[in-house]
Amino acid sequence: MLLQNFILFSGILAFSLMQNIVTEAVSVEEFLSLTTSEKDALDKFRARVEPLLTSDRMKQDVYLIRWLRSKNFDVNAADKMLRDSLKWRHDEKIDNIHLEDFSDMASEFHVTVDTYDKTGRPIGVIDMFDWDIRREI
């Protein structure tokens, strides 16, 4: 009973968080529009970190702006946070995670992907009630 209540609570919490994300979303155009000082910070940030970035996706404005916005356009703080993230990605081999074999988990963690959002991205639906979280921890 306790586990079922935990799972139900987790589902409600996840749904609540998703609702907040959706209601507070901004358009890509709004996200990418920058003041002159923000554009200068983006140019400075790009010059510093571009040699470290391993994929074309990471070199796009939208990716770099996320780091700057999270640190209120403080280039030094965004630089440190990005470098820490890149180190973590390297240490944990995140770029090769798709090569891992997760087949032993497939029977336990069901995810249904049968719908897409307005931009064509897949939406995964997870039935958390069936998950035995205690066993996996």
pLDDT above 70: residue 81: yes
pLDDT, greater one: 9 or 70: 70
How far apart, in Å, are the Cα atoms of 13 and each of 64, 110, 126?
30, 19, 14
pLDDT number for residue 25: 65
For the chain, list the domains and their CATH numbers: 28-97 (1.10.8.20)
Q: Which residue has the tokens 């030094």?
A: 76
Strands 122-126 and 111-116, by their bridges, are antiparallel
DSSP state at residue 108: T
For range 44-64, the mean pLDDT? 95
pLDDT digits (tens, 9 = 90+) for 82-98: 999 999 999 999 888 88
pLDDT number for residue 19: 46
Side-chain half-sphere of 113: how many Cα atoms within 13 Å? 8
pLDDT digits (tens, 9 = 90+) for 119-130: 888 888 887 776
DSSP string, 50-101: GGG--STGGGSHHHHHHHHHHTTT-HHHHHHHHHHHHHHHHHTTGGGGGGS-
- Percent residues over pLDDT 90 in the chain: 42
pLDDT number for residue 7: 53
pLDDT, greater one: 24 or 47: 47
Q: What span, in angstroms and rounded, lies between the C-alpha atoms of 64 and 53?
A: 10
Tell me the average pLDDT of the chain.
81
pLDDT number for residue 21: 47
pLDDT number for residue 106: 72
- Percent residues over pLDDT 70 in the chain: 79
